[in-house]
Amino acid sequence: MEKNIKSANEAAEKIIEWSEEQKIETCFDRAQRLKPCPIGATGACCRICHMGPCRLVGAHAEEEARGVCGATLPTVASRNLMRMAAAGSAAHSDHARDMAFTLLAAANGEAKDFKVKDVKKLYRIAGILEIEFEGRPVNDVARDVAMTLIEDFRRQKGELNYIKRAPLKTQERWKKWGIIPRGVDREITEAMHRTHIGVDHDPDNLLLSVLKVSLADGWGGSMISTDITDILFGTPRPVKAEASFGIFKEDEVNLVVHGHEPSLAEMIVDVVNEPELIEYAKSKGAKGINLGGMCCTANEVLMRHGIPTAGGFTNQELAILTGLVDAISVDVQCIMPALTELSKKFHTKVITTSHKAKFPGATHIEYDEHRAREIARKIVRVAIDNYSNRKTEGSHITDKFPVIAGFSHEYIEYMQGGRWRASFRPLNDAIIAGRIRGIVGLAGCDNPRIPSQGLHRFLATELIKDDVLIVSTGCGSAACGTAGYLTPEMALEHAGPGLREVCEAIGIPPILHLGSCVDNSRILTILAAMAEEGGLSDEIGGMPGVGIAPEWMSEKAISIGCYLAASGVPVIFGGESPVEASKEVTRIMTEVWFERFRGALHFEPDPEKILHLALEYIDKAREALKLKKYEPGKFGAERVLMDMAARRELEKAAKPHIGIY
Ligand code: NFS
């Protein structure tokens, strides 16, 4: 009998097998037991009022099927999508709001444990926001930046501050179709209003509003969060770290930070090195304190401090199953409620820290940025105190892989020319020359309904083989990291010859880890910079770039997919479509959106087809831009060692001012 693989990650699979032997249930078992409702899964179930739920199936299963109020299938499917996008936008934006208030409190001297770490980034953002910064005290500038960005949440009329960061042509498209967000909160409220019974029933109009509420995330919440996090904790630069379950240490206190908001985690990173706490750990018999991360909080502290990651969404229960985690401190989003029940079978303490996210059975230590250090210490002490309760049971796994992370927009710019000539010219030129075929943003969750992390791995290897540079975020990065893909060696072994040359010349991996899911905003600013640099498209639309979220599951992923589509990026999601039931909605999201915005949102369960569609989009964009036809293996069919002669040859072939070669 063929083995039923639940995770494509070998270490994860070993733990899952162990849990099966122990008869301990995980999300993988529940995913197999609970089949998705075929009506709800395709967007045909309306449950927004109490005349229903109306299930639009049966004799009138086509587009004309109606609920009790008369709402048609396209209306119902687009309303369902809108609620997902609104929730996703709200999640990222509420996170961003907390970051903005933390910056404000730090600037006012009220959150004494935090201060502006990256003054250069603060000035850069102040410049974008047209805030005077020269000669002013840093905290005054920080206060003005925080207040200006806080305005983005509550503004009633006008435009989000960052809309102007998009290329003009992209902005014009938004203007033409009326989807420029005014204020984040207003768009989310309006999305909820429009989807109330008896309001908006025109699928096209509803779907435009899906784009609007999602743009409020991409060019609002997420971008604000990325910028403020960089300002407070530093803009990432490449760091070396490790990934997978082997990061846990048998003889040290293992504390995991899990969730999304980085302020508390930053403070924990700081306090675990305090001599008193290390001494305290030693007094309990441990050799030290070992901090690891999970999901996007992991990505935040990995990008800035090289804190190792145990992986993404589907790895969280498995971390507890190692038996080595003394405490897991969670903040918000993507935290499985199953953790508390599971932790009872082990010694792990689950610590909740946000008033927004409480779990029955967890220890609650509420985070307050005004007392961040004190609270961080308290959490570390809980983990230390629990070390002696560690039992021997658990699936102890030693697998771990090196990871290079930390590719911010700023660093990518810097690596292409150094301090004085930083630009996107070399990247654009490498694409123009066909050395790099295109760019794919590989993002989104991992999912227990398929052999989890497998699609990320398949697409990552296939795309780089085809000379496609990958930028990854969120659990896409975690899936690549825990498979050992986030290293420069990956380019030597798996990348196509053109991409390999570029990677070798700069010394970068072919998969660039950009950060957490809110850092998908870095993809927007990178694409905007590439448009501004010239030689490719003069807007985000039309670039040889595609977004892929092969294992998505969260509402945040829908919001991300939609803001990328509205910005001009064709996006392909894996799995079955949540609007599958309506052909009209599917048509609007693919054909109509592409016509208007040069972006689209597809759902495609077949991984081979995802790959094919992505490459087709890239090649068509190259053709429309009149770039050289991509020829596989054209560049350096044999492995080229980049000696000076080779560099000169390359420089001749490309434009003379190329900096990275
Ligand atoms: Ni993104 Fe990050 Fe992961 Fe999915 Fe959840 S952790 S914010 S939503 S599961 S990628």
CATH of the domain at 290: 3.40.50.2030
Q: Are 499 and 464 contained in the same domain?
A: yes
How far, in Å, from the CA of 561 to the mean position of ligand 1?
Answer: 13
Q: Are 456 and 539 contained in the same domain?
A: yes
Q: Is 475 in the pocket of ligand 1 (CB under 6 A)?
A: yes
In a domain, 643, yes or no: no
Q: Is 509 in the pocket of ligand 1 (CB under 6 A)?
A: no
How far, in Å, from the CA of 297 to the mean position of ligand 1?
Answer: 10
pLDDT at 655: 30
Q: Are 285 and 225 contained in the same domain?
A: no
pLDDT at 421: 76
Q: Are 302 and 444 contained in the same domain?
A: no
Q: Are 465 and 594 contained in the same domain?
A: yes
Q: Is 444 in the pocket of ligand 1 (CB under 6 A)?
A: yes
Q: Is 313 in the pocket of ligand 1 (CB under 6 A)?
A: yes
Q: Which two tokens stand for residue 556?
A: 């945040």
**598-619 burial string, b = 16+ CB within 10 Å, else e?**
bbbbbbbeebeebbebbbebbb
Q: Is 295 in the pocket of ligand 1 (CB under 6 A)?
A: yes
Q: Is 588 in the pocket of ligand 1 (CB under 6 A)?
A: no
Q: Are 213 and 264 contained in the same domain?
A: no
**Nearest CA to 223 among 444, 517, 601?**
517
How far, in Å, from the CA of 555 to the mean position of ligand 1?
Answer: 9
C-beta separation of 229 from 301 below 8 A: no
How far, in Å, from the CA of 475 to the mean position of ligand 1?
Answer: 6
Among 333, 456, 519, 564, the mutation site with the greatest number of ligand 1 atoms within 8 A of its Cβ is 333
In a domain, 464, yes or no: yes
Domain total for the chain?
A: 4
Q: Is 544 in the pocket of ligand 1 (CB under 6 A)?
A: no
Among 84, 225, 295, 333, the mutation site with the greatest number of ligand 1 atoms within 8 A of its Cβ is 295
Domain end: 347, 370, 389, which one?
389
User: Could you report the per-residue pLDDT of 145-167, keeping only the tens digit for each?
Assistant: 999 999 999 999 999 999 999 99
Q: Is 424 in the pocket of ligand 1 (CB under 6 A)?
A: no
C-beta separation of 525 from 471 below 8 A: no
How many Å apart are CA 319 and CA 256, to the nearest integer?
9
Q: Is 311 in the pocket of ligand 1 (CB under 6 A)?
A: no
Ligand 1, atom 9: closest residue by C-alpha? 445
Q: Is 517 in the pocket of ligand 1 (CB under 6 A)?
A: yes
Q: Are 437 and 383 contained in the same domain?
A: no
How many Å apart are CA 421 and CA 111, to the nearest integer?
37
C-beta separation of 363 from 326 below 8 A: no
In a domain, 66, yes or no: no
Q: Are 85 and 42 contained in the same domain?
A: no
How many Å apart are CA 165 and CA 604, to the nearest integer?
31
Q: Is 296 in the pocket of ligand 1 (CB under 6 A)?
A: yes
CATH of the domain at 158: 1.20.1270.30
How far, in Å, from the CA of 313 to the mean position of ligand 1?
Answer: 7
pLDDT at 573: 98
Looking at the CA of residue 313, tell me the nearest atom of ligand 1.
9
Q: Which two tokens stand for residue 404?
A: 């290079």
In a domain, 379, yes or no: yes
What is this structure's pTM?
0.94
H/E segment holding residue 321: helix 316-321
Q: Are 261 and 147 contained in the same domain?
A: no
In a domain, 410, yes or no: no
Structural domain span for residue 301: 245-389
Looking at the CA of residue 92, tell me the nearest atom of ligand 1.
7
In a domain, 330, yes or no: yes
Among 27, 333, 335, 517, the mutation site with the greatest number of ligand 1 atoms within 8 A of its Cβ is 517
Looking at the CA of residue 518, tell me the nearest atom of ligand 1.
7
Ligand 1, atom 5: closest residue by C-alpha? 334
Q: Are 302 and 249 contained in the same domain?
A: yes
Sheet holding 289-294, edge to edge: 289-294, 253-259, 327-330, 349-352, 363-364
Q: Is 495 in the pocket of ligand 1 (CB under 6 A)?
A: no
Ligand 1, atom 7: closest residue by C-alpha? 517
How far, in Å, from the CA of 496 to the mean position of ligand 1?
Answer: 29
Which segments in the chain show pLDDT lower than 70?
Answer: 1-3, 58-61, 636-661
Q: Is 568 in the pocket of ligand 1 (CB under 6 A)?
A: no
Q: Is 294 in the pocket of ligand 1 (CB under 6 A)?
A: no
How many Å apart are CA 40 and CA 402, to the nearest integer?
41
Domain end: 178, 198, 233, which one?
233
Q: Are 581 and 503 contained in the same domain?
A: yes
Domain end: 233, 261, 296, which one?
233
C-beta separation of 194 from 48 below 8 A: no
Looking at the CA of residue 299, tell me the nearest atom of ligand 1.
2
In a domain, 399, yes or no: no
Q: Which two tokens stand for residue 304?
A: 């800035």
pLDDT at 506: 83
Q: Are 486 and 559 contained in the same domain?
A: yes
In a domain, 397, yes or no: no
How far, in Å, from the CA of 444 to the mean position of ligand 1?
Answer: 6
